[in-house]
Structure 1
Amino acid sequence: MRLTPDAWIFWQHGFFKLNATIVFTWALMAVLLLGAALITRQLATGHVRSRWQNLLEIVVTAIVGQIKDVGLKHPRRYLSFLGTLFLFVTTAALGTVIPGYEPPTASLSTTVALALCVLVAVPLFGISGQGLAGYLKSYLQPTPIMLPFNLISEVSRTLALAVRLFGNMMSGSMIIAILLSITPFVFPIVMTVLGLLTGMVQAYIFTILAAVYIAAATRSSKASKKPSPAPTH
């Protein structure tokens, strides 16, 4: 029994390995790219829309609403990044109903890569929102002595994102594999459905945490200061 899709090797030549994590990751990205091209090729602006366009607008509206609720002022600016994260993790979880498929998010290498994307995106959005000086100044708040702790926080929360997603996704796959070997077929089906629900929840949590980190990086320190009361005579 494989612990992660990294152990499923399709091809190997010396140091180079083509494992299930790489194969399913690229297959998943191809499916998302093809699906996006098919859904958006004939978008309509009138009252008559296709079912796929209605579904797309519902998903986009929901993601934009969640980003706005986090506190980001211009949610559509972050839609492409956060929406892609959510759709990737969600599709990876939904694909578990396909026989022979293993979600790439059950590999620590995939979750680390996703967390590193967040690690890079947070300062980029922060610098674009506050400027380089304003963003770097946030590491010195509330006092310069907090600089090393703020830097450690950046690394630790990235590690926490990766380990949290990896642990939840891998545990679901492992439980289903164990139940398939020791119990009748009906019970693992129920656990598969619960696993799909867990995958959706993890995709939501991962995306919301990324949005929260971006919101914290883009929030200007001046906006948090209360205006001083007007002088009284």
Structure 2
Amino acid sequence: MVLGLAMPSINLFGIRLDITSSLITQWVIMVLIILLAIILTPKLTEVPGDSQNIAEIFVEFISNMVEENMGKKYVGFIPYIGTLFIFMLCMNLVGLFGIKPPTTDYNVALGMALISFIVIQSYTIKKVGIGQYFTGYGKPFVFLLPINILERVSLPLSLSLRLFGNMFAATVIMDLLYEALRGIGFIAQIGIPIPFHAYFDLFDGTLQMIIFVMLTMINIKIISEH
């Protein structure tokens, strides 16, 4: 069953900040990823061992994905796409361990979408210049300006709602399943949910991460070349 913990709040300069279970889970994931990177990187050798082989396979996979979907001139985004891939995958898969996925919290989903939105817009401005960036809203015709603005602004909403909606729905279904099995017995709660976890946590969680990453890459390329 997916667990959620009630956390306290802190007051920072008069602003109330809620320490939620989603926030704690993200901190733990970030710490584990950082520790893993610290452990692996100092031991890099010309003849890689098992752990380095796995790391190199992942880096090569991300590199190929970026080059195939964005082109070689976008290889500078490999670190960002790789980090987004790992972090979001970890957040989506923690449900396998009975922890509420942070992406079932819309604040988290919107935050991830806003990060991608800012990255896309800032890179576009850096690439084409502030003037060309704003004139691009009037292309190919000036009367399309409102539609182009709406399309650009709706990007973080569409990214966040898609991620949140699918992850939240999967969590609700798993909660309802466990509630229904509670009356049958403890053994039923152990065995029957396994295939459902495989679909709603493993498959759907991975799929939503891939969709988010792919849409981020596509929008970086399309918007920066508008």
TM over 0.5: yes
Partner residue, 1:176: 174
Partner residue, 1:225: none
How many Å separate the matches in 1 of 2:111 and 2:167?
A: 15
- Aligned in 2, Cα 1:19/1:145: closer, same or farther, shift over 3 Å? same
- Aligned in 2, Cα 1:72/1:134: closer, same or farther, shift over 3 Å? farther
Query: Is residue 9–residue 17 contact of structure 1 (8 Å, CA) maintained in 2?
Result: no
How many Å separate the matches in 2 of 1:86 and 1:203?
A: 7
Are 1:193 and 2:220 matched, yes or no?
no
One-letter amino acid matched to 2:7? F
2:7 aligned counterpart, secondary structure: strand
Partner residue, 1:231: none
Partner residue, 1:62: 61
- Aligned in 2, Cα 1:86/1:115: closer, same or farther, shift over 3 Å? same
Partner residue, 1:207: 213
Are 1:136 and 2:134 matched, yes or no?
yes
Q: Which runs of 5+ in 2 are unaligned?
A: 182-187
Shift of 1:26: 1.2
Are 1:53 and 2:84 matched, yes or no?
no
How many Å separate the matches in 1 of 2:171 and 2:6?
A: 18
- Aligned in 2, Cα 1:116/1:108: closer, same or farther, shift over 3 Å? same
One-letter amino acid matched to 2:180? I
Are 1:18 and 2:16 matched, yes or no?
no
Cα deviation per residue 1:96-116 (whole Å; 9 max; x = unaligned)? 2223x2111110000000010
Shift of 1:66: 1.5
Cα deviation per residue 1:24-55 (whole Å; 9 max; x = unaligned)? 111111111111221222112x2x21222111
Cα deviation per residue 1:143-181 (whole Å; 9 max; x = unaligned)? 122222111111212101001000111111221222122
Partner residue, 1:119: 117
Partner residue, 1:163: 161
How many Å separate the matches in 1 of 2:126 and 2:80?
A: 15
Are 1:34 and 2:31 matched, yes or no?
no
How many Å separate the matches in 1 of 2:39 and 2:65?
A: 25
Shift of 1:201: 0.9
How many Å separate the matches in 2 of 1:109 and 1:162?
A: 9
Shift of 1:141: 0.7
Shift of 1:18: 1.6
Which shows bigger deviation, 8-17 or 133-142? 8-17
One-letter amino acid matched to 1:37? I
- Aligned in 2, Cα 1:71/1:13: closer, same or farther, shift over 3 Å? closer
Shift of 1:130: 2.2
How many Å separate the matches in 1 of 2:120 and 2:32?
A: 27
Partner residue, 2:6: 9
Aligned length: 214
TM-score w.r.t. length of structure 1:
0.84
Instruction: Say which structure is richer in helix.
Output: 2
1:41 aligned counterpart, secondary structure: helix
One-letter amino acid matched to 1:84? T
TM-score w.r.t. length of structure 2:
0.86
Partner residue, 1:96: 95
1:9 aligned counterpart, secondary structure: coil
How many Å separate the matches in 1 of 2:28 and 2:111?
A: 16
Shift of 1:16: 3.9
